[in-house]
Amino acid sequence: MTKPSSREPDHRPFAFVLFGGTGDLAMRKILPALYAAHRDGLLAPDGRIVSVAQTALDTSSYLRWVDEHVKPYIPGTAIDDSVWRSFRERIAYVALDASQPDAFSLLSDTLGAGRGRRIFYLATGPALFVPICRALASVGLTEGSRVVLEKPLGYDLDSSNAINDAVGQIFNEDQIYRIDHYLGKEAVQNLLALRFGNSLFEPLWRREWVESIQITVAEELGVEGRGNFYDQTGALRDMVQNHLLQLLSIIAMEPPQSMEADAVRDEKLRVLRALKPLLGEEIRQSVVRGQYHAGAIKDTTVCAYHAESGVRQGSTTETFVALKVEVENWRWAGVPFFLRTGKRLAGRIAEIVVNFKPVPHSALGAVALRPGSNRLTIRLQPNESIRLSALAKQPGMGMTLQGVHLDLAFDQFFQQDRMEAYQRLLLDVIAGRLALFVRRDEQEAAWRWVAPIIEDWATQGSLPKPYASGTWGPAAASALLARHNTCWQEEEN
């Protein structure tokens, strides 16, 4: 049977079981995304949502919780009351302790027999992934089902492998959906379309024409009450190992034979395996880690990381990482990829910047030789867009060059509403499309690459460099690029 595309209604029945149904992720992302899919007519009429959590609620009281906590995060226009009521009718609630296998018979009774596909979304801490999967198997709920695993999937390569091994004994690989919501963003999808749907850029997408590539994911927020979790994780594990390396693999991958799941993921894996290892002194030269101190975000004073609730006294956990990465293959040899992510930075932005090489000789002045004069900026957030920057002649006498740009602002060009990342990914899970989810060997390759950095930080005892909240991170991150005659592109209007 042909699987429907992300914008086509899928009328096959399903049961979407959301573990962690009263958690932050369910409230902010998952339930709003399911509502948007319901509103747009993309869910089967008899598709059900079963929220599971330890909180002692019945379905009626849980629906009141949904009214209060989920509605504020619904994307788009005003909520239609009749659509909201029909969405609520899909939802049931089961109170159980996910660490107690005996309690899962109640979930089995709620789901009943038949009723189509079962999707188990584990929006819980990773410590519960294996117990939940084993409990589901004990009550016969895993056959033909799908399981969605949220990050972080483990703390390092060994713990990640332990989880994958245990889950893999219960679910086949094609039943496991390791979610990375950046892969569902419209601009990332358009990066694939830009590269593989047009002949314009492909000849330039290589070392002969590209001088450097930057990937930035910056947040203004701090740990936001998640100090206990974040202090055990840090920016390298939380962002680099998954989001940033996934974005890098999409930028650098070879054209896949098709857009089928394994064709795309095979090419991403080749990039991850081609990453030049960072070892010993190379780590000190190519990696900058930092930790935010007190400062101001939009004229509001904010505290230092070590003063956040749940953070250990004297913590050396990094809240900022910048790296220079190289891909050792024919297409990209010698091209530096600069990755940067951090909390409490000067702006909330996620973007990819492809800096093309300047002309080899300029008859029009030194400006044509300036690095970054020709660049492609793919903005992922807050406003998804693609900008091509070039040089043009200023009006008037003489031949004075000035930077200009061509913009594709998706919200202005396309009349239909854009699909949020979680909505697209949840619809893909329901329909059984794996292309936008991370395969186990991809995840292992990413963990294997970051492992020497984690080990070096632990053994060398070096401290993260301080940076004031509201800035763009430690000065060493700018020096990292200056050594390559370039600089970070800061936020453009």
Question: Mind telling me the catalytic residues?
Answer: 243
DSSP sequence for 404-459:
EEEEEEHHHH--SPPPPHHHHHHHHHHHT--TTSB-HHHHHHHHHHHHHHHHHHHH
DSSP code at position 113? S
Contact 181, 144 (CB under 8 A): no
Phi, psi torsion values for 211, nearest 5 degrees: -85, -40
Phi, psi torsion values for 350, nearest 5 degrees: -135, 120
From 377, 373, 366, 337, select the one nearest 252 (Cα to Cα): 337
Phi, psi torsion values for 222, nearest 5 degrees: -95, -145
* Residue 229, both tokens: 């979790």
- How many other β-carbons are positioned within 10 Å of the β-carbon of residue 263? 13
- Would you state the torsion angle of the CA atoms of residues 150, 20, 84, 11, taken in this order, to the nearest 10 degrees? 60
Contact 174, 434 (CB under 8 A): yes
Phi, psi torsion values for 334, nearest 5 degrees: 90, -5
Q: Where are the alpha helices (DSSP H) in 253-402?
A: 261-274, 281-286
- Unique residue bearing structure tokens 């369910």: 26
Q: Which amino acid is at 271?
A: V
Contacts of 289 (CB under 8 A, 6+ apart): 235, 236, 318, 320, 321, 457, 464, 465
Phi, psi torsion values for 98, nearest 5 degrees: -65, -15
Q: In terms of C-beta density within 10 A (0-12 exposed, 13-18 middle, 19 or more buried), how is residue 134 classed?
A: middle
| Helix/strand/coil (H/E/C) assignment for every residue in 169-185 | CCCCHHHEEECCHHHHC
* Residue 288, both tokens: 């900058």
Q: Which amino acid is at 220?
A: E
Q: Which amino acid is at 214?
A: Q
281 vs 292: CA distance, rounded Å: 25
